[in-house]
Structure formats: C-alpha cells, structure tokens
Amino acid sequence: MECGGLHIMKWLLAFLKGQWLKHPMHPILVHVPMAMWPSALIFDLLSRWNGNAMVRLSFYAIIFGLVASLLAVPTGVVDWSGVKKENPAWKIGLYHMILNLAVAVLFAINLGLRVQTFRQATVIEGAPLVLSIVGTVLLIGSAYLGGLMTYNYGISVARMSKKKWRRIAEVGGANLPPE
C-alpha cells in the first residue's frame, strides 16, 4: 500500500506532465509569457503616442506574464527532468531554463520599477524600456532553444502515444532505434 505523500506526488507529476490532457502542459503554458512580455515592449513603445493607457497595458502584461511563468516553470522542470543527461537536449534544456529564469527576473525588476508610477506615467523610458528590450530578446533566444529541444530532439513529442507514432514512422520508412 502506498503512503499518502507518494500518491499525491505521483498525481502531481502526472498533472504537471499533462497526462490528464493527453498533451504536455509546458508548451500550452509558455505561450502566455511568450505573448505578454513582447506585448509589454510593444505597449512601452506605443506609450510615446498613446500615453497612460499603453503604460498601464504594459504593466498588466508584465504581471500576467509573471503569473503565467509561475505555472509554466514547474511543468518545464518536470519535462526536462525526464531527459537523460547524455542527451544533448539536456544541456539545451538547462540553458533554456537559465535564460527563462533571467527573463523572469528582468521582468520582475521591470515591474518593480513601474509599480509606483504606472497610474500616472504617460511614457516608458529609461531602465524599464531597456529591461523590456533585453528581456524580450532573451525570451526569443530561450524560445528558440525550447523549439530546438522539441523539433530537433523530440522532447515531449508523442510521449503520450509513442506506439502509435512509432507505427506511423515505421510505415513512413523512418530509421528508428530499437525499443
């Protein structure tokens, strides 16, 4: 008989892996910060013409991205923990995670710099603008690494239906490693 803590841990891991959806959770969740933080940069730039409305949109986009990243991180860590250290994707995943951590910290600092002024500010400039630019560039680099893991190394691809996809690959003449 399993102890309650072990049962809860197995349930949590299955939940974070997206087994209940039959689809990995991480790629679903990462789209929110990937959309919100570059949007914050766009709103920052638009604040030069549209004033406080854009300043506020940017502020809330940063918050929404940070909250979503808190959901995306554990799902990514769970997916990455299933990659063997010998696999080149493991190291790519490590860099992906470090870059994402740096991006989240940059946007958290960015938010902190805005919290006192976002209600009355009419333009974003200086450090918050630079943080939005640098954070967005690093985010795009990290997204490239995430895509590399998925598309070049197949991380989290077809893991819910491995046998089905293996049959399709065999029919298509793919050179598959032994099971």
**pLDDT tens by residue, 87-138:** 999 999 999 999 999 999 999 999 999 999 999 999 999 999 999 999 999 9
**pLDDT band with cut points at 50, 70 and 90 for residue 74:** very high
145: nearest Cα among 67, 34, 12, 44 = 34
**pLDDT band with cut points at 50, 70 and 90 for residue 162:** low
Asked whether residue 174 is assigned to any structural domain, the reply reads no
* pTM of full prediction above 0.85: no
- The total of structural domains in the chain comes to 1
Give yes or no for a contact between 41 and 54, defined as CB atoms under 8 angstroms apart: no
> Domain residues for 103?
18-156
Asked whether residue 7 is assigned to any structural domain, the reply reads no
Asked whether residue 99 is assigned to any structural domain, the reply reads yes
Least confident of 13-17, 129-133, 137-141, 170-174: 170-174
Asked whether residue 172 is assigned to any structural domain, the reply reads no
pLDDT at residue 92, as a whole number:
96
pLDDT at residue 16, as a whole number:
85
Task: Tell me the mean pLDDT in the region 24-44.
Answer: 94
Asked whether residue 108 is assigned to any structural domain, the reply reads yes
CA dihedral over 33, 106, 112, 43, signed as positive or negative: negative
pLDDT at residue 174, as a whole number:
66
Calculate helix-pair angle for 4-17, 52-81, nearest 10 degrees.
Answer: 120
